[in-house]
Amino acid sequence: MITSQSSPEKRLFNWQEQQQQQSNTKNDIDTTLFWTRNFIVLSIGSIMLTFIVTFVAVIYWCSKQQKLSKTKSHPSELSSFTTHSINVKASRPKEIKLFPIVPKLIQPNSSSFILPTIEDNNYNNLNHDRFTTDTCSTADSSSSSTAIATKKFRKKNLLERKAMEVESPTVCCTYWSKPTSLLFKRRRGSNNSLTISIAPKHRLLNSPPVDCPSDEYLLTATRKLTIDELHQHAQDARLLYHEFWTIPTNHLEKLRICGAGTKNRYGTIIANDHSRVKLSELPGDPLSSYINANYVTGYPNEYHAFIATQGPLANTIIDFYRMIWQEHVPVIIMITRLFEKNKAKCERYIPDSQPTQYGPFHIQIKSISYQTDYEIRRLIIEFENEQREIEHYWYTAWPDQSCPDNAQPLIELVKNVEKSRLELSNLNKHFGPIVVHCSAGIGRTGCFIALSNGVKQLDNEHIIDIVRILCDLRRDRGGMIQTNDQYQFVYQALSEYARTLQFSS
């Protein structure tokens, strides 16, 4: 009985155990299949990703090689002028200076190109053809005997609006690193002389070689132009470009006064030492004698006619008025806004309407006059129970990093400043220099002083020497007339003024 009763239970137990084993086996199989399937998927994904990355890398490498092959196979601009390759191993320069980009080449059938003139001269007379700074484009010396390339002018701006009114002169299109003669001997049996004339229509630049010392160049360089020559010269953008970059900037590299750097608005614009304005030193303050300002010579060789300076900083306003008082300044010309393109260009140093105290100086406004492009304020400065009147001209129409659209208001400003200078010098019983400043005190400031000296020279001599004017300015304060566009603007403005002289005469 006992055996018969336990037998079914044992069979049931065995059956359940078998079912359990089968279930465990099935679960193991499912787990194995799951991980096997995931491993296969991950392997396939990794292989595809590797293939894609490899494919992209191959494409990039092929495109890179294709660009390199095109660059190597593309002929240079001078390949048509040379018959053999020249390998030059350039030494590493000690200093790299960046200059504006030279205009690109254009086709000879363009309307704005310059060609050299071919003349039949005797070989004995060829030694008189010397290279001057009137030749104004670039070409390799090895190719100058086979072809002369023409170059494209940059797009004419407001400085060159009247370029079509005056026919540009014929000049040669070749730069040379050193002054030399363009001479080619007459070939035996040939009837013509292989001579390229480089004699320009302008008067030659009477200047030393470019590689001479800066002081010598600034002392001797000159180019005198008649009024007719000035009109032609002002339209030749390429010639003015070369003329501007030939003149040394004469920047002072290091300030010798320890601690005075805090009084400079820009670290690279430093007052040249020989012409620096020196203030009277205050007791216990050895830096009180320094201000970023230079005396500038006027026309004709007027000693200390101007003071070129930077826009005052918050910590130099009192020094600025100390200079005004010490030098008996009758007129101040300000050619900048307080802020341009969200950058501080000059600290406000004149009151709005109410009298203001700047250190020991009491400043009040007597009158205000508003002109088209500038404002005139008559200021009364009081110091130690003494009063003086000065005129403050604030020219606000000069756009940032550009030049004015119209030069006539600036010429008018030059004339009015001279009248105010004489009037106030008589009123204050002392003849002092005119203070001119922008932000750095070299760009717009240099343009105004150059215009003032140029107008006086045209009035008195009816000729102009802007090269000599710029050299004098840079000898007194480095970097005057900061950009090539400003230099062209000075030429254009004086050319327009010269036309008014011709019409009036």
**Active site (catalytic) residues:** 438
Q: How far is CA 479 from the centre of its chain?
A: 10
Query: Is residue 407 annotated as involved in ligand binding?
Result: no
Residue type, 374: Y
Confirm whether residue 256 is marked as ligand binding: no
| 444 is annotated as contributing to ligand binding | yes
Three-class SS state of 118 = strand
Q: Is the dihedral of CA 128, 131, 136, 139 positive or negative?
A: positive
Residue type, 220: T
Rounded to whole angstroms, the maximal C-alpha distance in the chain is 154
* End-to-end alpha carbon distance in the chain: 154
Alpha-carbon span 193 to 122, nearest angstrom: 7
Q: Cα separation of 204 and 488, whole Å?
A: 19
Orientation angle between helical segments 484-504 and 237-246, nearest 10 degrees: 120
- 101 labeled part of a ligand binding site: no
Residue 310 corresponds to which tokens in the numbers above?
């930077």
In terms of Cβ atoms closer than 10 Å to its own Cβ (0-12, 13-18, 19+), residue 483 is middle
User: Where in 105-208 does DSSP place strands (E)?
Assistant: 117-119, 195-197
Locate 247 and state its tokens.
């003149």
Annotated binding residue 62: no
439 appears as a binding residue in the annotation: yes
Q: Is 442 among the annotated ligand-binding positions?
A: yes
Alpha carbons 139 and 99: distance in angstroms, whole number: 17
Instruction: Read off the tokens for 61.
Output: 């490498």
Q: Which two tokens stand for residue 278?
A: 């020196």
Binding site as annotated, residues: 400, 438-444, 482
Binding site as annotated, residues for substrate: 400, 438-444, 482
